[in-house]
Amino acid sequence: MQKQYESLKLIKVETLGDFVYKVSLNRPSKFNALNMEIWKEIGDCFRWIDEDPDCRVVILQGEGKHFCSGLDLGGVSFLNGDNDDKDSARKGREILKTIKFMQKQFTYIDECSKPVLLAMHGYCLGAAIDIATACDVRFATKDAVLSVKEVDIGMAADVGTLNRLPKVVGNHSWIKDICLTARHFSAGEALQFGLLSRVFDTRDEMINEVQKMAKLIASKSPVGVQGTKNVLNYARDHTVENSLNYVVSVKGWVLLYKRFDRIPWHCHPEIV
């Protein structure tokens, strides 16, 4: 594993072998609440993984009793008065800059070329849903408690949930139900409305099954897997016609490369 991961303090990166990495939110004493330090580390981690030839699939989880209890209200500068000495215009610019930074760190998950499998347990509140919607496949334990919590602290969710959740679920009535009320909902309800792929009885069972899935995906052609994720993400954000044209263009370049390449590209371990 590359040395840069050793610099992370609140994110733990482990290799499970067979080109699978496990990334863990590692602030269990705070129920993995997100301050600006761990927020930045999430972005750094997934930027590095995107370029890491030893990784083909990522499992994302949380250490301790809960996946993530949401935003650490004392760990975000514009929420705890750090810029109160500035005039309103400068405060506004700083807040805008900070929010864009926070958005981008989760976008690195969405844009990572490697599939990201999310395994949630316990509290999955607020920013946890922002993370979840940026992942590719989502799982949870049956005792998981989920919530789009921002309305309860006088905010509209602004780092991904309100933008990605409609693309993930598609049921706008249910989305407005959970976002406007900020109520807790169960993993079973999340499964019913399509936010989750599967729900497991225990965390151990979930991790075991997610690892099996990760290793199955990692055994496939990395060109095929990463190309599939890329085209699906493009199709999500564009019309059918545009995405059809896009996949033709992408596949044309791949076939052109294959024609002049004597290496068996579909199984070469160095192609990521």
Give the tokens for residue 206.
């979930």
Q: What is the pairing mode between strands 116-120 and 137-141?
A: parallel
In whole angstroms, what is the distance from residue 23 CA to residue 265 CA? 28
Give Dmax (Cα) for the chain.
Answer: 64
Domain boundaries, the chain: 3-219, 222-256
Q: Indicate if the alpha-carbon torsion angle 93, 98, 103, 108 is positive or negative.
A: positive
In whole angstroms, what is the distance from residue 20 CA to residue 36 CA? 27
Architecture of domain 3-219: Alpha-Beta Complex (3.90)
The pLDDT, as a whole number, for residue 75 is: 65
The pLDDT, as a whole number, for residue 84 is: 64
Judged by average pLDDT, the poorest of 69-78, 98-107, 188-197 is 69-78
SS3 120: strand
Percentage of residues of the chain with pLDDT beyond 70: 88
User: Are the beta carbons of 122 and 139 closer than 8 angstroms?
Assistant: no
In whole angstroms, what is the distance from residue 23 CA to residue 215 CA? 15
User: Are the beta carbons of 215 and 20 closer than 8 angstroms?
Assistant: yes
- Across the chain, what does the average pLDDT equal? 90
Query: Residues near 20 by Cβ (< 8 Å), separated by ≥ 6?
Result: 55, 56, 57, 58, 59, 211, 214, 215, 218
Average pLDDT over residues 205-212: 98
Per-residue pLDDT tens digits for 189-207: 999 999 999 999 999 999 9
User: Are the beta carbons of 39 and 105 closer than 8 angstroms?
Assistant: yes
Per-residue pLDDT tens digits for 160-172: 999 999 999 989 9
Per-residue pLDDT tens digits for 121-143: 999 999 999 999 999 999 999 99
Statement: residue 81 has pLDDT above 70: no
Is 0.85 surpassed by the pTM of this model?
Answer: yes
User: Are the beta carbons of 251 and 243 closer than 8 angstroms?
Assistant: no
Per-residue pLDDT tens digits for 5-19: 999 999 999 999 999
In whole angstroms, what is the distance from residue 49 CA to residue 117 CA? 14
Query: Residues near 150 by Cβ (< 8 Å), separated by ≥ 6?
Result: 126, 156, 157, 158, 161, 182
Statement: residue 187 has pLDDT above 60: yes
Percentage of residues of the chain with pLDDT beyond 90: 77
Per-residue pLDDT tens digits for 226-271: 999 999 999 999 999 999 999 888 776 665 555 555 445 455 444 4
In whole angstroms, what is the distance from residue 96 CA to residue 248 CA? 38
Which strands sit side by side in the sheet containing 20-25, from one edge to the other?
A: 11-17, 20-25, 57-62, 116-120, 137-141, 198-200
Statement: residue 1 has pLDDT above 80: no
The pLDDT, as a whole number, for residue 39 is: 96
Statement: residue 148 has pLDDT above 70: yes
Statement: residue 272 has pLDDT above 90: no
Q: How many CB atoms lie within 10 A of CB 116?
A: 23
User: Are the beta carbons of 25 and 10 closer than 8 angstroms?
Assistant: yes
In whole angstroms, what is the distance from residue 17 CA to residue 59 CA? 12
The pLDDT, as a whole number, for residue 46 is: 98
User: Are the beta carbons of 151 and 179 closer than 8 angstroms?
Assistant: yes
